[in-house]
Amino acid sequence: MKKVIAMPAGRWARELLTLAGAERIEYFLDDDADIQKAGFPTGNSIKPVYPISHIEDEDRDNIVIVITDSKRFAELRDRLVSFGLAENRHFFDGWHLDIGFYRMIGDGFTTWTQYEKSIGGFDYSEFSSRAGKMASMIPDDVTSIMDMGCGDEVLRRYLDPRIRYYGLDIVRRNADTIICDVNVDPIPDLPVDAYYMAGFLLYINDVEKLISQMRRAKYLIFDLWNYVEFRRYDNIYMNIYTRRAKSVCWNEREHFLSLPEVIDALTLNGFAIEKAVELNRTGSYCCYRARNLKIR
């Protein structure tokens, strides 16, 4: 895990960082001698503050610097570049963080199976409520469905037993699991009425390519976090999400998957969103049902 450093250590660092966020910082950089002497208070402790030149003593491949003052960003960026550091690799604007930052400070897992193994298995029980809401989006004319990234097949508990169920995952979950890494191999060519994708699209490197393989289905049912952009370092939703799944959730994607990107992929393949349901109280997390306009 990389060492996280913040600079400068004045007012805007206090505005940007929550107490928990400040505790995650190894130390601060600031050329103000008085600030260096006082340090940066975080709860019951004081974080050290060093001159910016202190960065010369660090292994650049083991650090991530958060610039806390956006008004001075250009000046501080040039200063760090003079030490041979690169923007969005060694340092980031703390007020406009992107996926690169969260991947840098993660534990380096690149696949879901690695993450599951590291924690001794995953508890899927928390997904029950989500599955119930998403299952309610399945139309009455669906007679078969493929559960993409099925896990412990929680969806199956909410399905009409007359619906034929296919569970697909990257590893075997039971004797009936269809094993497929959809980022590498094509999905099985099975005639299903709907594809169900709960917490799935964020793992996909090429969403348009995936959806192009689903054009024979009547419906696609999927969930998505509706973040327009990444927020500041202490954003509660991003902190919870990245702390739970680290860089696993982002797979090899270079940016956060947006709803417009998914809509573009749907449109190119003849689908249109016809229904949406909120999955949380803020409206930032929703389930969508897309219908194939070429099938009546």
pLDDT at 130: 85
| β-strand partners of 145 | 165, 194
How many percent of the chain have pLDDT more than 70?
79
Q: Is 116 part of any domain?
A: yes
Same domain, 152 and 280: yes
Q: Which of 70, 96, 122 is the last residue of a domain?
A: 96
The answer to whether residue 7 is domain-embedded is: yes
Determine the Cα–Cα distance for residues 227 and 269; give it in Å rounded to an integer: 24
Q: Is the dihedral of CA 5, 11, 17, 20 positive or negative?
A: positive
Which tokens in the block code for residue 221?
């049912």
Give a yes or no: residue 102 inside a domain: no
Is residue 107 included in any domain, yes or no? no
- Examine residue 225 and state whether it is found in any structural domain, yes or no: yes
Q: Please give the helix or strand (H or E) that residue 33 lies within, else none.
A: helix 33-38
Q: Are residues 88 and 153 in the same domain?
A: no
Please write the tens of the pLDDT for every residue from 241-288: 443 333 334 444 545 677 888 999 999 999 999 999 988 776 678 899
Q: Of the residues 96, 125, 142, which one is the last residue of a structural domain?
A: 96
Q: Are residues 129 and 207 in the same domain?
A: yes
- CA dihedral sign, ordered 13, 14, 15, 18: positive
Task: Report yes or no on 132 lying in a domain.
Answer: yes
Q: What is the mean pLDDT of the chain?
A: 83
Confidence band of 110 (pLDDT split at 50, 70, 90): low
My answer on whether 285 and 143 are in the same domain is yes
Same domain, 143 and 280: yes
Q: What is the CA radius of gyration of the chain?
A: 23
Q: What is the pLDDT of residues 134-165, one digit of tens each?
A: 999 999 999 999 999 998 899 999 999 999 99
Q: Are 1 and 107 in contact (CB under 8 A)?
A: yes
Give the 3-state secondary structure of residue 19. Answer: helix
Q: Is the pLDDT of residue 83 over 50?
A: yes
pLDDT of the residue at 99: 58
Shared-domain flag, residues 139 and 272: yes
Residue 246 domain boundaries: 112-292
pLDDT at residue 103 is higher than 80: no
| Domain end point (choices 96, 120, 145) | 96
Neighbours of 8 (CB within 10 A): 21
Does residue 260 sit in the same domain as residue 152?
Answer: yes
Q: Look up the CATH number of the domain holding residue 14.
A: 3.40.50.720
As a whole number of angstroms, the distance between CA 149 and CA 185 comes to 14
Q: Where are the alpha helices (DSSP H) in 156-235?
A: 207-212
57 occurs within a structural domain: yes
Q: Name the pTM for this structure.
A: 0.60
Residues 92 and 24 in one domain: yes
Q: Total domain count for the chain?
A: 2
Residues constituting the chain: 296
Instruction: Tell whether 136 is covered by a domain.
Output: yes
Residues 162 and 223 in one domain: yes
289 confidence band (pLDDT: 50, 70, 90): very high
Instruction: Say yes or no: 79 and 118 in one domain.
Output: no
Same domain for 81 and 124?
no
Query: Which CATH number covers residue 195?
Result: 3.40.50.150
- Please check whether residues 85 and 122 belong to one and the same domain: no
